[in-house]
Structure 1
Amino acid sequence: MSNTLSHLEQVKAVSRHLRGTIEEGLNDPVTGAISDDDNKLLKFHGSYQQDDRDIRDERRKQKLEPAYSFMIRARLPGGVITPAQWLAFDDLARNYCSRGLRITTRQTFQWHGVIKANLKPSMQAIHDAMATTIAACGDVNRQVVSSVNPQLSSQHQLVQEWTQKLSDHFIPRTRAYHEIWLDGEKITDEPEEEPIYGDTYLPRKFKMGIAIPPTNDVDVFAQDLGLIAIIEDGKLLGFNVAIGGGMGASHGDDTTYARLGSLIGFVPPEQLIAVAEGVVTLQRDYGNRAERQYARLKYTIDHRGLDWFKSQLEARIGFSLQPVRSYQFDQNGDRYGWSKGEDGKWHLGLYIESGRLWDNDDHQLQTGVREISKIHKGQFRLTCNQNLVIADVAQQDRATIDELVAQYGLDGYLRQSGIRRHHISCVALPTCGLAMAESERYAPELLSKLEALLVTHGLEEAPILLRITGCPNGCARPYLGEIALIGRALGRYDLRLGADFIGERLNIVYRENIAEPEILSTLDTLFEAYAKDREINEKFGDFLVRSKVIPAPTQRLTPIVLNAVT
């Protein structure tokens, strides 16, 4: 393994805390792009440069540069948005973007198709809406996600407050963001420090998430730092701590892999920030900075050992973690329809296919939520499964919300199959530069065909976790799907099977590099067996393991627990 720093590490080292020459590139009228090095730094500011791959070849024939544009991602801890923010974000989408609003698998918004000239105005519009994009991408702690609880108890609200505290604590301190995007004063004679990240930030991206049992709607074991809130008798006692989760891998390279987080202990709320900072700074100091494919926390832990990491963590923070507290998950995914909170307010969970909020001939989802925003007095909450909760609705306002939901086609949750309600997919083509196959655009077509199969076997209501991605990097957490399709090439996917319904078991490869006919025939056979031989309330992934369609998982496929207590 090389000891030479990767190119990006060198770029970060000379970037002057993420400035590079981004500002000069934005002002260059000759091209719609910025330089490769600046594009790498731009991610720390919450944006990616992309181009429309559907027309890339045609533009090349015309001797034109690619149709460059930018994706912008907001940092919205816990996915909480006010109606005023929603209206501002919708204005941004209508004024500057090509693809409406899109809810991501990390509980935030992405805007696609922003041309270079509109990038700075878009960033300023997000800032004016009392939000930010800094650290939504890049080698830093990104968007902190947390469970969306329609009941919104006081303790769930307290968990949201800790989500915000974690997000605020790990915001980069560089003034580059304000200088470049918000016309902040440039201070050249004062030293600038990043007390948590250091001059070169983290070796790779870092993700945190908080789950509240019994629902694992954030896939807590997919996080670099996963926290399980322990609530007893209405009191938040603290958090079980899991480290080293991660979904990214590479086709044909067994040295890269998805990994579930390992439970290492319990921490009371007042010690949470110290533990989180200890984990982050250990990864900062010991993560692989030579080969980025091995730079995530999961590889640091597996290379050095879980016991080593835990002992180093406790030495760094100055206290020992308590034994893991008992907890139980019973479901993944989101709840739909109305539910009532302990304060008497109501919360409406809406299904948003692949998180795509835009208008077409069949429905006007983007306009519908805009109209709701004009009269809504509560909040909106985005989910990690790309759905939407209209939260804090008074009893007297429910009928008006229901009318708008029906008028604009937002009532799809009332008539979707079990597999459609539990599917997520990544953006993939045409904008993602890593995509090998279709995902978001293919999902509706595939789901219709899968639903037809499920209907023939009487399984249309069976909840089945389906994940589709255009590549193996894992943005839609495919390795935790009971059924997962991971893109290999246009029209071809690896079929993975056998994760459980609660996010505590990874799936495995069942068929490699297959096209739709084999995907459908394979699943049709398995659906038939499931319909005939499943046990009461047995989920599809558990059935595949019990019936030995796939081998029982090894220890590597389950969370490792140290010092567990019941």
Structure 2
Amino acid sequence: MSTELSRNERIKEASGYLRGTLAEGLSEVATGAITEDDQQLVKFHGMYLQDDRDLRPERTRKKLEKAFAFMIRLRMPGGVCTPDQWLRLDRIARDYANRTLRITTRQTFQYHGVIKSNLKATMQAIDAALLDTLAACGDVNRNVLAATNPHQSRAHRAAHALAKEISDYLLPKTPAYREIWLDGEKIAGGEEEVVEPIYGRTYLPRKFKIVVAVPPSNEVDVFAQDLGFIAILDAAGEIAGYNVTVGGGMGMTHGEPETFPRTADVMGFCAPEDAVKVAEAVVSVQRDWGDRANRKHARLKYTIEDRGLAAFLAEVERRLGKPLGAPRPFAFDGNGDRYGWTDGEDGLRHLTLFIENGRLRDIPGGPSLLTGMRRIAEVHKGEFRLTANQNVIIANVAPGDAPAIEALVRQHGLAMNASGLRRNAMACVALPTCGLALAESERYLPSLVAALEENLARHGLAEDDIVIRMTGCPNGCARPYLAEIGLVGKGPGRYNLYLGGAFDGSRMSKLYAEDVGHDDIVAALDPLFAAYAWRREPGERFSAFLIRDGRVAATTNGPDFHRNTGPLASRAAE
């Protein structure tokens, strides 16, 4: 392995704890962009420089600069949002972004279309809402996910509290964020005064993702994460401790079999009071052991593949100062959301709404989702919870307030009557804004689902829950490799089709058909739907049937992911 540091490591080291020349770049009015080095540093501040790829050809012909704008992502541990915060964020979307709010797969919001001249005003408005974007992107611990509704039970409340505690504990300490975006006073002595006790000057080798799950629901997809805490409950329903999982991750690169998605290993068990220190120990081992020469090999999953789980556990325990216990039994029953009304232990009610691909916007002549949620926020006395499946929970509704909420939901088209496939669908943004997208995702998946719904209805499967996920590139932001049906962009209008991921998110899928378009996808799935309808066993999920029926081989973890058995994959990546 090369000892030469990657370019990003040099940028971080020379950045003055994430300052770079961002402040100077904001005042440069001749361009809507920032320097190439600053494009890497600004990720740590929670944003990416993008451009509208739909406009590229026309602007190129006119010899104009690309239509640059920024995507800004918030840090919201566990997806908590008060009504006042919702109203403020809605106002930002209408004043500075593209008049949409997008719920991400990490329980937070992101804005699209914020031009450089509006960046500081946007960031200051976010700060006024008592929120921030620090560490929402970049080579640090990102937004920490938690079991969706902390008011469902005492265990859920404890899980959310842990997610927030971990998020705060692992937050970068640099004052660069406040200096650059909020006009904070630079500390005496400048960058040399900064101490990052956990991260150091070069932070982590790559991004790092943490979640807290409460069985039987795995809506946070714990096996897709670098680090996970699975709550183990005692007889009284209290959290006795957490199983600790490590080494999950979704990203890969087409044609490079040394890159692969991986499900996490269950490493051990810890007491509740040790969880934050376990998180610090795991992060610090990855900081010191992770690959800083090759960014495609820099995630924790590769560290564990290279070093072995036993060696990694031993080092975590050494830094923790105590051994982890043996993992305890647990079981998940799915990784989707529970839609509709549910009741909490405290007598309050919670309404989970389906938001297709997480995009809140007003459609002329159609649903007015952004306006509808704004109207609800104006009267709601509880809280909002964003889910890892891109949906929203109107939480803590007093029973007497439920009819008014229901009326607003119906009035603004928020009560979508979705099929079993659609309500379990998830897509990344992809085109036109993501610079990595090879194919459509958010804009295409609804129409693909509509075509598949016709066949499912013909086979009597319209209401069956089947998980389908799509990404415009192989980086896996919508976690497609854990879906029962996964589609990963290969090129314009072309996708790799993966099948067999477990309904509860515990098993990886398998490449079934490579480089296929819309008609091929529909044609490949229709006979599988037919067979499932006729020959499934009671309670058997679609993916489990495909494996039992010999249509798809069960995937083992790690590099074996690329060993395809799909009958339609003539050019499978070996």
> Shorter-chain-normalised TM-score: which range?
over 0.9
Relative distance call for 1:198 and 1:150 in structure 2 (3 A) is closer
Q: Which amino acid aligns with 1:285?
A: D
Q: How much has 1:554 moved relative to structure 2?
A: 2.9
Q: How does 1:203-352 map to 2 (within 5 A)?
A: 203-232=205-234, 233-352=236-355
Give, in angstroms, the shift of residue 150 of structure 1.
7.5
Question: For this pair of structures, how many residues does the alignment match?
Answer: 557
Amino acid at match of 2:272: P
Distance in 2 separating the partners of 1:352 and 1:302: 37
Alpha-carbon offset, residue 372 of structure 1: 0.4
Select the residue among 365, 372, 379 that pairs with 1:375: 379
8 Å CA contact retained: 2:226, 2:300: yes
Query: Which of 539, 547, 550 is equivalent to 2:549?
Result: 547
Q: CA separation in 1, counterparts of 2:553 and 2:367?
A: 43
Partner of 1:143: 143
CA shift for structure 1 position 58 = 1.1
- CA separation of 1:127 and 1:246: change in aligned 2, threshold 3 A: same
Letter paired with 1:389: I
- CA distance in 2 between counterparts of 1:492 and 1:222 reads 25
CA deviation profile, 1:3-22 (whole Å, cap 9, x unmatched): 11100100000000000000
AA paired with 2:551?
V
Measure how far apart 1:158 and its partner are.
1.4
Rounded to whole Å, the distance in 2 between the matches of 1:354 and 1:243 is 28
For the residue of structure 2 that corresponds to 1:485, the secondary structure is: strand
Matched, 1:110 2:97: no
Q: What is the rounded CA distance, in whole Å, between the counterparts of 1:557 and 1:103 in structure 2?
A: 32
Residue matched to 2:486: 484
The one-letter code matched in structure 1 to 2:553 is P
Structure 2 residue 431 is matched with structure 1 residue 429: yes
Equivalent position amino acid for 2:346 in 1: D
Report the CA distance between 1:231 and its aligned residue: 1.5
Aligned position for 2:510: 508
Counterpart residue type for residue 402 of structure 1: E
Give secondary structure in 2 for the equivalent of 1:486: strand
- TM-score w.r.t. length of structure 1: 0.97
1:65 matched residue in structure 2: 65
- Residue 390 of structure 1 aligns to a residue whose secondary structure is strand
CA distance in 1, matches of 2:476, 2:227: 17
Partner residue, 1:162: 162
Aligned to 2:358: 355
Does the aligned pair in 2 maintain the 1:78–1:146 contact within 8 Å? yes
State how far apart, in whole Å, the 1-side matches of 2:58 and 2:221 are: 40
Maintained 8 Å contact 2:224/2:250: yes
- Following superposition, the deviation at residue 99 of structure 1 comes to 4.6
2 CA distance for matches of 1:11 and 1:151? 43
- Counterpart CA distance in 2 for 1:134 and 1:82 is 19
> Secondary structure of the equivalent of 2:248?
coil
Match of 1:395 among 377, 393, 399: 399
Deviations 1:247-299 (A, max 9, x none): 00011111000001110100011111111000000000010000000000000
Alpha carbon RMSD of aligned pairs, Å?
A: 1.2
Aligned partner letter, 2:399: Q
Check conservation: 1:150, 1:340, Cα contact below 8 A: no
Q: Is the 8 A contact 1:107 1:382 kept in 2?
A: yes
Secondary structure of the 1:237 match is: strand
Does 2:431 correspond to 1:411?
Answer: no
Q: Determine the C-alpha separation between the residues in 1 that align with 2:86 and 2:402.
A: 19
Give CA-to-partner distance per residue, 1:389-424, whole Å, 9 cap, x none: 000000110000000000000111xx2100000010
Distance in 1 separating the partners of 2:368 and 2:448 = 22
Partners of 1:194 and 1:552 in 2: CA distance: 43
Instruction: Using the TM superposition, name which of 154-163 and 394-403 deviates more.
Output: 154-163
**Pairing partner for 1:193 from 187, 195, 211:** 195
Q: Please name the residue that 1:469 is paired with.
A: 471
Letter in 2 for 1:298: K
Whether contact under 8 Å (2:151, 2:157) holds in the other structure is: no
Q: Does the CA-based 8 Å contact 1:250-1:473 persist in structure 2?
A: yes
Is contact 1:260–1:557 with CA below 8 Å preserved after alignment? no
**C-alpha offsets along residues 474-497 of structure 1, whole Å, 9 cap, x if unaligned?**
100010010011000010000000
Cα distance in 2, alignment partners of residues 367 and 557 from structure 1: 46
Residue 455 of structure 1 corresponds to 457
1:563 maps to what in 2?
Answer: none
Structure 2 Cα separation of the partners of residues 447 and 511 of structure 1: 18
Per-residue CA deviations over 1:73-96 (Å, capped at 9, x if unaligned) read 000000010000000000000000
Counterpart contact for 2:135–2:172, Cα < 8 Å: yes
Residues in 2 aligned to 1:270 and 1:61: alpha-carbon distance in whole angstroms: 61
Structure 2 residue matching 1:424: 3-state secondary structure? strand
In the aligned structure 2, how far is the partner of 1:111 from the partner of 1:463? 30
Give the letter for the 1:251 counterpart: H
Give the conservation status (yes or no) of the 8 Å contact 2:509–2:554.
Answer: no
Which letter maps to 2:361? W
Q: Which amino acid aligns with 1:295?
A: A
CA contact (8 A) 2:508 2:557 kept: no
1:561 matched to which residue of 2? none
SS in 1 for 2:487: strand
Residue aligned with 1:53, SS: coil
**One-letter amino acid matched to 1:302:** E
TM-score (norm 2): 0.96
Deviation of 1:553 after TM superposition, in Å, equals: 2.9
Q: CA deviation at 1:2?
A: 2.0
Alignment of 1:2-13 (within 5 A): 2-13=2-13
- The answer to whether the 8 A contact 1:203-1:288 is kept is yes
Post-superposition Cα deviations, 1:328-347, rounded to whole Å, max 9, x if no partner, equal: 10111001111111100000
- Give the secondary-structure state (helix, strand or coil) at the position aligned to 2:362: coil
Task: Report the Cα distance in structure 2 between the residues aligned to 1:99 and 1:519, rounded to whole angstroms.
Answer: 33
User: Partner of 1:92 in structure 2?
Assistant: 92
Q: Which residue is equivalent to 2:422?
A: 420
- Following the alignment from structure 1 to structure 2, what is the Cα–Cα distance between the partners of residues 235 and 148? 17
Taking the aligned partners of 2:82 and 2:556, their CA distance within structure 1 comes to: 44
Q: Deviations over 1:174-216 (max 9, x none)?
A: 0000000011011241621100000000000000001100000
| Counterpart amino acid of residue 243 in structure 1 | V
Deviation at 1:156, TM superposition (A): 1.2
Read off the aligned partner of 2:200 and give its amino acid letter: G
**Counterpart position of 2:46:** 46
> Which whole-Å CA distance do the structure 2 matches of 1:472 and 1:300 have between them?
20
Once residues 557 and 367 of structure 2 are traced to their aligned partners in structure 1, the CA distance between those partners, rounded to angstroms, is: 46
Residue 572 of structure 2 is matched in structure 1 by none
* Equivalent residue, structure 2, for 1:564: none
Deviation at 1:155, TM superposition (A): 2.3
Kindly state the Cα deviation for residue 557 of structure 1 after the two structures are TM-superposed. 9.4
1:79 equivalent to 2:79? Answer yes
Once the two structures are aligned, what percentage of the paired residues are identical? Answer: 55
Asked whether the equivalents of residues 150 and 347 of structure 1 are also in contact (C-alpha less than 8 Å), the reply is no
Corresponding residue SS for 2:38 = helix
* Distance in structure 2 (CA, Å) of the matches to 1:237 and 1:118: 48
On the 8 A contact 2:149/2:385 being kept in 1, the answer is no
Structure 1 runs of 4+ with >2 Å offset: 552-558
For 2:120 and 2:188, the matched residues in 1 are separated by 22
**Secondary structure, aligned partner of 2:121:** helix
Q: 1:261 to 1:340 in 2, by over 3 A?
A: same
